Amino acid sequence: MARILLVEDEPDLQQLVRYNLEREGHQVRVAGTGGDALAELRRASYDLILLDLMLPDRDGLEVCRIVRGDPALARTPIIMVTAKGEESDVVLGLGLGADDYVTKPFRTRELMARIKVRLARTRAVATEPDKARIEVKGLVIDPVRHLVTVDGAAATLTLTEFRLLHAMAASPGVAFGRYDLLDRIGDGDAVVTDRTIDVHIRNLRRKIEPYDALVETVRGVGYRFADG
């Protein structure tokens, strides 16, 4: 069972999604505006946010940006659910820190599957066995505490960014293809475009500066973590 915040202003969709989530045993809270969603997130903790982009008071992208910029909320998984389905919209949503992107109209069973995968991956990170910290220069990756620090300061990474960094850093020098990385971070069922991993990597590099050069581009293949 998980606590899920559904941010959606269409009553029919509110009812449909809430019914299916509650049928699977989840606790659901509905917010019809971006302002209500932010107030609710600061009032209580949630395991997942389902976020519409076209809200009556403010764009869902703005809500996502605020959530990712708040250290207390930044690690909460976000699945965007929206009618904006162009590749540029998907890239923008992922670029702002969304973990997945589902376009309307959607199949209810597919949405429930995406939610299940995302919750399972979040729990796996929280319960994974003790692993050694990875320290390279001033960059420290601590999988036990699920924390990355840059010269002693905590970096606010999303779950997807953390798993990407840890997967590469645990095998320095190994070149990973984009789809291989998607499989390793458990996003095989997520929205996949040629630029999905590129967007996540770009955000990751920005957040671990000045050690961004440790994440190297392998032309024609994908990415690797610097070896030595």
Q: Are the CB atoms for 81 and 50 separated by under 8 Å?
A: yes
Give me the torsion for CA of 149, 179, 65, 22, rounded to 10°.
Answer: -110
pLDDT tens track for 141-155: 988 777 899 999 989
Share of the chain above pLDDT 70, in %: 91
Taking the model in full, what pTM does it have?
A: 0.63
As given in the structure block, the two tokens for residue 100 are 């997945």
Which of 157, 190, 166 lies closest to 75 in space, CA to CA? 157
**What is the rounded distance in angstroms from the CA atom of residue 183 to the CA atom of residue 223?**
14
Query: Average pLDDT of 57-64?
Result: 91
pLDDT tens track for 3-46: 999 999 999 999 999 999 999 999 999 999 999 999 999 999 99
CA distances from 172 to 15, 95, 184 (A): 47, 25, 15
**What is the rounded distance in angstroms from the CA atom of residue 41 to the CA atom of residue 32?**
13
Domain range list for the chain: 3-126, 129-225
Domain 129-225: top CATH class: mainly alpha
pLDDT tens track for 92-103: 888 788 888 888
As given in the structure block, the two tokens for residue 153 are 């300061």
**What is the rounded distance in angstroms from the CA atom of residue 47 to the CA atom of residue 106?**
22
Q: Are the CB atoms for 18 and 3 separated by under 8 Å?
A: no
Q: 3-126 falls under which CATH superfamily?
A: Response regulator (3.40.50.2300)
